[in-house]
Amino acid sequence: MKLWPRDYSLEELNRLNAGNLLGHLGIEFIAIDRDSLTARMPVDHRTTQPFGLLHGGASVALAESVGSFAAFLSLRDNSKTTVGLEINANHLRSVTTGFVYGVARPLHLGRSTQVWDIRISDDDDRLVCVARLTIAIVPRHKVRPTAPKTFPGE
């Protein structure tokens, strides 16, 4: 079965980043492939801790952002939406400059839950962080009752 129920453009995904955490951190989607979604985030004043290293929380924000987006895009039922249940991350290497890249791939796509593997690497393709994100599939009206219909595919 195809992961994505329709073809999405990077332009329509990135349009949703303005005015929220993704935009503030400089996160942008750069690839949507047959089985993965990839985003990148700059390592700069917005994403480092006071000692100049990539902040672990910024890595987790990237992981949850790309994983949550991928989970939502994989839904086939427009009456449902996705919400994060749990995320865990292991920080493996420090980064001080450039970009980090988060690649989300599904481990489990169930009727009521999804589990996503997110691997974050640096500009030299060295593994920086690994994360696992658990998503709940819930009725959309309970989470976004008044949200404008600006999501991809609507």
Where in the chain does DSSP place strands (E)? 28-32, 37-42, 80-91, 99-109, 113-122, 127-139
- Amino acid (1-letter code) at residue 13: L
Strand partners, 82: 137
Of the candidates 11, 12, 28, 64, the residue annotated as catalytic is: 64
Written as six digits, the tokens of 16 are 């949703």
Written as six digits, the tokens of 57 are 């929380």
64 tagged catalytic:
yes
Distance CA 46, CA 73 (A): 27
Strand partners, 29: 39
By annotation, the residues acting in catalysis are 64
